[in-house]
Amino acid sequence: MKPLTLTVRTMTEPSLKHVYCPDETGGHRMAYWQWGRPDSAHLVLCVHGLTRQGRDFDVLAQALCERSGGNIRVICPDVVGRGESDWLKDPMGYQVPAYAADMLALLAQLHGVAPISTLDWLGTSMGGLIGMVICGQPDLPLPVPVRRLVLNDVGPALEWQAIVRIGAYLGQTGHFDTEQEAADAMWAISKSFGPHTPGQWLALSRPMLRPVSGTSNSALRLHYDPAIAVPFRLATEEAAHQGEAKLWQLYDNIRSETLLVRGALSDLLSPETARAMTARGPHARLVEFAGVGHAPTFIAEDQVAAVSAFLLG
């Protein structure tokens, strides 16, 4: 008699859902992409970087679903102003504390749909800063404390020259005739993401594009509200250094088991800051990827394997 074989059906596309988030101008909707079992008590929240969106995590989310035997819920929000989420009436709302409040609203809704007993967080760049705000304040109304935290190429101290580099293109959403033209333009400012095949890069680029409104042709633009650049450009080097003390305080309060992922060529997270993060606060475990700058995309197998082992091990 043949032994029974359990077949886990892999989701190739996530479900798109929304959550209402209050704000001072009447509220907004935040979109999120849901992978895996909608009723799973183990929830992994994956939060993207400054100009990105939730579909960045497609490869990783599918891997987590497969390697968990399907018993996991992976949630990838489009932070407000990006992707399928609303744009804010007041651009000054495009800041990390407001994003953190939106994540609390999201987690409350998800907990109401199906109770969360295990909560993990993965944050790339801006998503990691939001994670530090959430995990570094123990009195916040979370369904359960964050068990494991992945900080992807971000820390309490950020290199000012990298911030200047990002600010040079932030808000320029472009006008492209084809997906390939747009992908090529994005690659020109994103080579620090590390090696990708043409197919991988095109797949990563497609969710970044939207039709240009008011045109009858097939012109495309990037997916985000150009106004996210407004508060970003008000930042100064002096203010950034002053904010480091608060971020270190938040980091030192973190009790989650923490994995720090760093691109070995990163210009945003210095080796010195990364080493300091292993020696204080949650004493993060550090893994670096050669040939990658800011920031790893979790498409390469070694990156997927490292994060999957941490979250599922």
* 312's tokens: 């599922």
Q: What's the CA gap between 266 and 247, in Å, rounded?
A: 19
Question: Residue 9: its pLDDT value, please?
Answer: 40
What is the C-alpha to C-alpha distance for residues 189 and 165, in angstroms, rounded to an integer? 9
Percent of all residues in the chain with a pLDDT value above 90, rounded to a whole number:
93
Q: What is the pLDDT of residue 213?
A: 82
Structure-block tokens of residue 27: 């509220």
CATH of 15-161+244-312, one of 3.40.228.10, 3.20.20.120, 3.40.50.1820, 3.10.20.340: 3.40.50.1820
4 has a pLDDT exceeding 90: no
Are the C-beta atoms of residues 247 and 132 closer than 8 Å to each other?
Answer: yes
Token pair, residue 62, equals 């599918």
Domain ranges across the chain: 15-161+244-312
Q: Are 298 and 304 in contact (CB under 8 A)?
A: yes
Residue 253 confidence (pLDDT): 98
Query: Is beta strand 73-78 parallel, antiparallel or unpaired with respect to 28-36?
Result: antiparallel
Q: Tens of pLDDT along 79-121?
A: 999 999 999 999 999 999 999 999 999 999 999 999 999 999 9
Fill in the amino acid letter for 148.
R
Model pLDDT for residues 258-290, shown as the tens digit of each residue: 999 999 999 999 999 999 999 999 999 999 999
CB-hemisphere CA count at 13 Å for 233? 11
C-alpha separations of 179 from 84, 203, 221 in Å: 18, 10, 10
Three-state secondary-structure class, residue 79: coil
Report the Cα 63 to chain-centroid distance in Å: 16
Burial 84-95 (b: 16+ CB within 10 A, else e): bbbbbeebebbe
* Reported pTM: 0.95
